[in-house]
Amino acid sequence: MWAGYMAIASPHPWVDTSGFPVIVITFPINSTVTELRAMTVATRRFALELKEPIGIVSDLSAIRAGDPEARSIYADFVKDVRNLPNSPVRATAVITPSTLQRSLLNLHSFLVGKTPYPVRAFPRRDEAMPWIRAMLSTRRTA
- The tens digit of pLDDT for each residue in 22-54 reads 999 998 887 788 888 898 889 888 888 888 899
Sorted by where each starts, the structural domains of the chain and their CATH numbers stand as 15-141 (3.30.750.24)
CB 44 within 8 A of CB 76: no
Q: What pLDDT sits at residue 21?
A: 92
Global pTM reads 0.83
Q: State the pLDDT at residue 69.
A: 83
Q: What is the mean pLDDT of the chain?
A: 82
Q: Are 56 and 93 in contact (CB under 8 A)?
A: yes
**Mean predicted confidence (pLDDT) in 69-78:** 80
Predicted pLDDT at 3: 54
Measure the CA dihedral 19/25/31/37, to 10°: 120
Rounded CA separation 98/101 (Å): 5
Task: Check whether 5 has a pLDDT greater than 80.
Answer: no
